Structure 1
């Protein structure tokens, strides 16, 4: 590869031009083949080759004259996706679900990611319409959807979360990847696959904490009095991540002991940690995030049903609806004055549980009546 790069850097060389055109053709061919054969066993090596080709085709760095230094510290050029930025920021319906947000991105790539991360928190029908609108606005400047070059987040299944862009703008998309989970070193084997799914949740949440600066936590054992931002409070972020990891290991240990009630209590704790990773306002129930977290709760309900089938007196209740109707079943709840409907539960952080007559209160975030 070093010799190829040397040849490409030779000025006024016909051989260099021929090599460059050949590399462009190879890149286009591999990209097309990568799209047509996404499950081919050679995809990983193919991606590495594409990265090397892209690196070869990058123009060589040039020395910057002193008189050009002024341009470097001048304000950045206007975003190519400026119309997308303005339209998204002006949408009053989005503010119902996202609060009074402002877009912070300074580059087109960051803007694409920031907007699509926010769409994961709104109802799916609104998110779907906005994803198409974003692609339409990108197409106006010569960019099209790219479902091949995706950043992979570990999880127990494969799913494209949102596409990237190719053409006049090159931006990676985002996807869930079972392969990324398997290569992370965590691959528990259990009879019903519950631990495997849970491993996916833990790994996915840890990665999302790294990429989404809007995330907060409301985990009582870490901080019980408020909803804490993770980006501006690194100590809180570290403590939350550590507690999530601890509860994951406790759940593994409980499952290996074949004690159904010990296992159930561990699952209640890890489910609380998962649901305590929140945004302000909390996500809409039928959003991508809402649907994801409900997957954890469905597993918890299966664990509870297993205990019931074995003859234990177990009741699990997800708290929702009017706060006045469920407050007797909860404790140390948190209050917000944004999102949802005044007087209603915004999200259930911890389920109410009664196990063999022993009651454990749930915990919620609710919207104040004011």
Structure 2
């Protein structure tokens, strides 16, 4: 496995990405075969191989500021230069409404900067813009300035600075989307499969750097919202499922059958929207708008199926849960975040295709 690991850890390598996806597929196949043939004489060896694959596919921790090692001495909280920013952030009641009553955990200034900026991706963009300017003003007060030249790049189908890094008295990387990083894995063809591959590559990298992500993908875990940071096996299973659905959308597009493409994209869209925060990001946040790019593609595909003569209705479920619950199934409930009794996020759209109904799925806030 030594050479496998060496290739997997090689940066910006198409061969490394191909190997990773192949191993994800092998892991999924072996898991399915293991469940189907429990009395097979190779079960024990299969279990050992699955453990080796699981260990091999675990991503190495990738801090947003790699110049700071885990072995460094962690200062006490009252020595942070950005301590006043942390206190203001923790005490803001409007932020608590969207983020839940979770206090910032970082123990260094670079970590604190990145933790705050990542949390701002989950709140409405106007509030996030106001708070982002406030963070820059408070950073400048202690001798740190915005730095857009030092960015951790996430592969995607376009370029975008998500938030800046800092230089001066506090030095840390910012975060960006990078089409160049995406092109290291995929040739752009301006079709829907570019977006599905873009989400697959983006999510694979984002999961490595964001410890607060959960998944609610029904095919992986039916009745819970699972932390990807605390349960590593769920992380690999979620990425496996996302990769499998990405491949199915590509095969469907090759077939040129509008209904096959539509059904594959409904499944892909569900996997994309099932990567969530707790409580879920606000619909008009940066994260919400990013995920909504999948819904826009889904609408275009539905329109193509309608133009081909099919009866298609796609509905994103939102609003009061009592009003949409007959159109959904196996929903998940939270006791905090958002407004009691309302849908917090739509994981899977409701679909009606040629008189065949497919229920949606949501996370909602309990009415108590």
Q: Same fold by TM-score, threshold 0.5 exceeded? A: yes
Aligned residue in 1 for 2:214: 216
Q: Which runs of 5+ in 1 are unaligned?
A: 1-57, 59-70
Whether contact under 8 Å (1:154, 1:204) holds in the other structure is yes
Q: Secondary structure at the match of 2:166?
A: strand
Q: 1:261 is matched with which residue: 253, 259, 264? A: 259
Residue 194, structure 1, aligned to residue 195, structure 2: no
Give 1:358 deviation, angstroms: 0.9
Q: Which runs of 5+ in 2 are unaligned?
A: 1-66
Give 1:198 deviation, angstroms: 2.1
Give 1:73 deviation, angstroms: 8.8
User: How many aligned residue pairs are there?
Assistant: 298
Aligned residue in 2 for 1:225: 223
Aligned residue in 1 for 2:90: 89
Distance 1:73 1:97, change over 3 A: closer
Aligned residue in 2 for 1:206: 204
Q: Secondary structure at the match of 1:122?
A: coil
* Partners of 2:77 and 2:326 in 1: CA distance: 55
Q: 2:321 is matched with which residue: 309, 323, 328? A: 323
Q: How big is each residue's C-alpha offset from its partner over 1:39-87, in whole Å with a ceiling of 9 and x where there is no partner?
A: xxxxxxxxxxxxxxxxxxx9xxxxxxxxxxxx96985871111111111
Residue 176, structure 1, aligned to residue 177, structure 2: yes
Aligned residue in 1 for 2:167: 166
Aligned residue in 1 for 2:286: 288
Q: After the TM superposition, which residues 1-370 of structure 1 pair with which residues of structure 2 at under 5 Å, given as runs?
A: 78-183=79-184, 185-187=185-187, 189=189, 193-370=191-368
Give 1:339 deviation, angstroms: 1.2
User: How much is the aligned-residue C-alpha RMSD, in angstroms?
Assistant: 1.7
Q: How big is each residue's C-alpha offset from its partner over 1:13-42, in whole Å with a ceiling of 9 and x where there is no partner?
A: xxxxxxxxxxxxxxxxxxxxxxxxxxxxxx
Relative contact order, higher structure (CA 8 A, sep 6+): 2
Distance 1:266 1:356, change over 3 A: same
Q: How big is each residue's C-alpha offset from its partner over 1:288-341, in whole Å with a ceiling of 9 and x where there is no partner?
A: 001111111010010010000000111111111111111111100011111111
Distance 1:280 1:357, change over 3 A: same
Give the 4+ runs in structure 1 shifted more than 4 A: 71-77
* Partners of 1:136 and 1:188 in 2: CA distance: 39
Whether contact under 8 Å (1:188, 1:199) holds in the other structure is no
Aligned residue in 1 for 2:13: none
Q: TM-score, length-normalised on structure 2?
A: 0.78
